Structure 1
Amino acid sequence: MKIADRTFLISGGVSGLGLATARALHEQGAYISLLDLNADNGTKIVKDLGPRAKFFETDVTDTQAIAAAVQGTVAWVQETGKALGGVIAGAGVGMPGLIIDKKNQPLSMESIDFVLNINLRGTLDLVRQVVPHMTTSTPTGPDNSRGVIIMIASSAAFDGQMGQVAYAASKGAVASLTLPLARDLSKYGIRAVTIAPSMFDSAMTRMMSDKVREGLEKSMEFPRRAGLPEEFARLVVECVGNEMLNGTVLRLDGAMRMPARL
């Protein structure tokens, strides 16, 4: 599948892994629709990338906000003639919390809902609203491809640490839905792939204390460092271009297996 002259929607697209992905796809000739809450960053990034980029201020927990961004992107596609090529659902948060704290109080539902609504519900809502516009596009290439859905899980989906119940639940769900999503979309020539990164340099990991960061780095085999956003973006580019990547979860983790506690 070719990247050039195709339009890709990226949620969480104006910082961290999402921004690195946007830049990598843009360098390959793609048109980029950036969905994010940070309007200041969005304006700056669009100015930097030029006419092949659009920004839509979007809260992925708000169905109507997603709908407005998708409709805006579809209208842009009709103007440019550059068909939808895929979705990268990159919006995500982490809010650590033990299921029961030192005062014998359970983790609040507000905290659980906050994580699930962005990481899981926001991902599914974005995907389900974009797919109808992809299924009706003209297939391309020898395999009659209409595009790819790329989602982001985490190492925590498989070996989450103490305090990551909500986060692991959200990312584990994303990993689990990858294959059935691919099966649902196979007749339309649309693929589904999930990337499960370990600790990468992002806004979320920069909020960690030095102790936590150093502890996680020690649990990595090689290289013993946080992943670079550009390394994540390289895998996204491969997921777009390689038609045999479908219905699978790709760990990108430096052989990291997180210990129960730091």
Structure 2
Amino acid sequence: MKVENMIAVITGGASGLGEATATSIVEKGGQVLIADRDEAKGEALASRLGSQAMFVAVDVTSEEEVRRMLDQALERFGRVNTLINCAGIVIGEKVVGREQAHDLASFQKVLEVNVVGTFNMTRLVAEIMQKNKPNDKGERGVIINTSSIAAFDGQIGQAAYSASKGAVASMTLPVSRELSKHGIRVMAIAPGLFETPMFEQLPESAREALGSQTPFPNRLGKPAEFAQLVLSIAENVMLNGEVIRLDGAIRMQPR
């Protein structure tokens, strides 16, 4: 799929990986719907990107809100042919802490947002994508979900996050197999340590120490590098049903 022909819904699109992806798509001629719960950041980004972008506040776990958002996308752009799921949350909590066991509600919340939210977006966007007219390569759409290296190298305290990102990785192949008959490709990216809002609260020395764990390049990843891979996946029709690690060869230690 050519980037200039992309009409993309990007969840978690107001900051971090999603913001960089939205910016890259618009800069190369595509159009984006920025879906996020942060209205201030979302509206500011859409204003900066101009007429090729719009913002809709949405809870990705709500069927009603997502359907309403997609109606707005169709009204504005006429169709949607790309979905990039970047929305997600993270917690750090041990299975058995010093005072009590892992809070069950927090575990369920991480799975609700990261797994149910990703699947909810995938199923509802695929429902409308299948109605698209195929392009010259037979494609009707591309779905790119965000997993994490925590799906494979989860650290102590990451049981909930690793479980959620493992689920995102695991659903890639079965969903891609099912949607292939409609000309819809499904991929996932598993980023390593990236400069995202999660790291912004850390002092520079702490960010450098984390980045130094990456063999090469010896730093934190940049959101623009995630966006670059998104566009490469979109443009290469043979990429389907796979999880790509984007991590500079890092393998996380237990703690």
Quickly name the TM-score band, shorter chain normalised: over 0.9
1:113 aligns with 2:108: yes
**What residue ranges of structure 2 are gaps of 5+ in the alignment?**
none
CA contact (8 A) 1:6 1:31 kept: yes
Does structure 1 conserve the Cα–Cα contact (< 8 Å) formed by 2:213 and 2:219?
no
Deviates more, 1:202-211 or 1:168-177: 202-211
Q: Which of 69, 80, 85 pairs up with 1:84?
A: 80
Aligned CA distance change for structure 1 residues 117 and 173 (closer, same or farther; 3 Å): same
Q: Tell me, what secondary structure is at the counterpart of 1:192?
A: strand
Whether 1:173 aligns to 2:167 is: yes
Corresponding residue for residue 220 of structure 1: 214
- Per-residue Cα deviation, 1:91-129 (whole angstroms, up to 9, x for no partner): 0111110011012x1111111122111111110001111
1:124 and 2:119 matched = yes
Paired residue secondary structure (1:29): coil
**Alignment-mate amino acid for residue 55 of structure 2:** F
The residue type paired with residue 27 of structure 1 is E
Measured in 1, the distance between the counterparts of 2:184 and 2:157 equals: 36
Give the residue type in structure 2 aligned to 1:6. Answer: M
Partner of residue 197, structure 1: 191
Q: How far, CA to CA, are the matches of 1:160 and 1:219 in structure 2?
A: 15
Correspondence 1:140 to 2:135 = yes
1:15-67 alpha-carbon deviations (Å, 9 max, x no partner): 00000000111112111001001111111111111111111001112222212
Kept in 1: contact 2:208–2:220 (CA 8 A): no
Looking at structure 1, the residues matched to 153 and 62 of structure 2 have their Cα atoms a distance apart, in angstroms, of 30
In structure 1, C-alpha distance between the alignment counterparts of 2:146 and 2:246, rounded to whole Å: 11
Match of 2:89 among 79, 84, 93: 93
SS of the equivalent of 1:250 reads: strand
Q: TM-score, normalised by structure 1?
A: 0.93
Gaps of 5+ in 1: none
Which secondary structure state, in structure 1, belongs to the residue aligned with residue 75 of structure 2?
helix
Cα 1:208–1:111 shift into 2, 3 Å: farther
CA distance in 1, matches of 2:213, 2:254: 11
The alpha-carbon distance between structure 1 residues 208 and 112, as it changes in their structure 2 partners (threshold 3 A), is: farther
Residue number in structure 2 paired with 1:102: 98
Give identity over the alignment, percent: 40
Preserved CA contact (<8 Å) 1:7 1:30: yes
Partner residue, 2:226: 232
* 2:208 paired with 1:186: no
Q: How much does 1:224 deviate? A: 1.6
1:212–1:99: structure 2 CA closer, same or farther, 3 Å change rule? Answer: farther
Segment drifting more, 192-201 vs 1-10: 1-10
8 Å Cα contact 1:3-1:85 kept in structure 2: no
- Where do residues 3-82 of structure 1 align in structure 2 (5 Å cutoff)? 3-78=3-78
The SS at the match of 1:51 is helix
- 2:130 counterpart letter in structure 1: T
Counterpart position of 1:245: 239
- 1:216 positional shift: 3.4
Partners of 1:219 and 1:259 within 8 A in 2 = no
Kept in 1: contact 2:82–2:142 (CA 8 A)? yes
